[in-house]
Amino acid sequence: MSKKILAIGFATVILTPPLLVEAQQQKVYRAGVLMIGSSDIPVMKGLRDGLKEAGYVEGKNLILDVPVKETIDELRPIAKAYIEKKFDVIVAMGATAPLIARELTQEIPIVFLGASDPIGSGLVKSVARPEANVTGVARATDVEMQGKRLEVFKEAVPTLRRVAVLYNARGENPGHAKSLALVQKVAPALGLKLIEKPIKSTADIERALASVSKDSTDGLFVICSSLFREPIKKIAAVAMQKRLALTGCGVSDVTEQGILLSYGANTYRIGHRGAWYVDRILKGTKPQDLPVEAPTYFELVINLKTAKQIGLTIPPNVLARADKVIR
């Protein structure tokens, strides 16, 4: 009996070191994030939660690099650094960031989160078969959502006639021009006159906000872009000060910034689903074999506190359709 125990103990001594070595050599994946503004936003929370549920622990088997940048121009050197360091995957928010990454690499997989019209913007050739090294979860698969947003804005603000439209005019993403064209097409049918405000920089935003007033404008409509992710706080403050209706691009714009309303895809869910893409790619699946997904959950959020402060009454039928109402 003692010989058997000795043999088992000896075998354990022999087998234990390789097991320990294997544990110590567990692969650590590296994922780089390209985004503008704070990382404490719903899409990033969704991404982190999804990765955690998939078994990734930051600092243990996953390095998730999330640099905080304020302008689009700052993203290019970050993307270059990810490529030089041979990161396993690049996660890019919106459409402009993944376009920058795709321009620099055809080798490292790129997962976009929240791009509108990924085909029109040039990110992918097909939703079903993305080809190349790019795939992800779209905010919308075409620009039609911008028309729907404007329609909901008009329904919530029946007195809306003159709308100042802030849009990204930098030109990196052709999808922004397509979105503007659609809004221009939809506006007359809604009885709206557009006052276009092309934005390329923070200075442009300051000038645009200085030029609007209750005398010349009934509301502000932002064509969603990462360019406005940080400035939206300033835009919201000015809209409140000048008692102008403002529609935002996400739930947090309404709940945290006091914007009147937002209608669109749930960005937390986009981030959470994006984690599945990252996981599949890290496990060996090629981006071109992962079809682009469209969002399946849209929500209308209305801030009644803001409506009261700017002297607006939201029609009961619109309130009844809201998924969330801030009172």
Length of the chain: 327
* One domain for residues 321 and 290: no
* One domain for residues 121 and 78: yes
* One domain for residues 63 and 125: yes
Q: Is residue 76 part of a domain?
A: yes
Q: Is residue 136 part of a domain?
A: yes
Using pLDDT thresholds of 50, 70 and 90, give the confidence band for residue 173: confident
Q: Is residue 11 part of a domain?
A: no
| Average pLDDT, rounded, for the chain | 90
**How far is residue 323 from each of residues 261, 263, 302, measured CA to CA in Å?**
11, 10, 8
Q: Is residue 16 part of a domain?
A: no
Q: Is residue 15 part of a domain?
A: no
Q: What is the pLDDT of residues 16-36, one digit of tens each?
A: 454 444 444 579 999 999 998
Residue 257 has pLDDT above 60, yes or no: yes
* One domain for residues 199 and 311: yes
pLDDT of res. 141: 72
* One domain for residues 135 and 183: no
Mean pLDDT over residues 287-294, rounded? 95
- Could you give the percent of the chain with pLDDT greater than 90? 74
Q: Is residue 319 part of a domain?
A: yes
* One domain for residues 149 and 130: no
Residue 151 has pLDDT above 70, yes or no: yes
Q: Is residue 4 part of a domain?
A: no
Q: What is the pLDDT of residues 48-61, one digit of tens each?
A: 999 999 999 999 99
Q: What is the pLDDT of residues 177-234, one digit of tens each?
A: 989 999 999 999 999 999 999 999 989 999 999 999 999 999 999 999 888 988 999 9
Cα–Cα distance, 37 to 277 (Å, whole number): 23
- Could you give the percent of the chain with pLDDT greater than 70? 92
Domain count, the chain: 2
3-state secondary structure (DSSP) of residue 91: strand
CATH number of domain containing 220? 3.40.50.2300
* One domain for residues 216 and 245: yes
Question: For residue 316, what are the domain limits?
Answer: 144-264+299-326
**How far is residue 162 from each of residues 151, 192, 273, 313, measured CA to CA in Å?**
14, 6, 38, 18
Q: Is residue 6 part of a domain?
A: no
* One domain for residues 237 and 314: yes
Q: What is the pLDDT of residues 50-94, one digit of tens each?
A: 999 999 999 999 999 999 888 889 999 999 999 999 999 999 999
pLDDT of res. 25: 58
pLDDT of res. 286: 96
**How far is residue 228 from each of residues 208, 218, 250, measured CA to CA in Å?**
13, 20, 12
* One domain for residues 150 and 40: no
* One domain for residues 202 and 321: yes
Mean pLDDT over residues 280-306, rounded? 95
Asked if 220 and 162 touch (Cβ cutoff 8 Å), the reply is: no
* One domain for residues 158 and 32: no
* One domain for residues 152 and 248: yes
Query: Residue 110: which residues within 8 A CB-CB, separation 6 or more?
Result: 89, 90, 91, 92, 98, 101, 102, 133, 134, 135, 136, 287
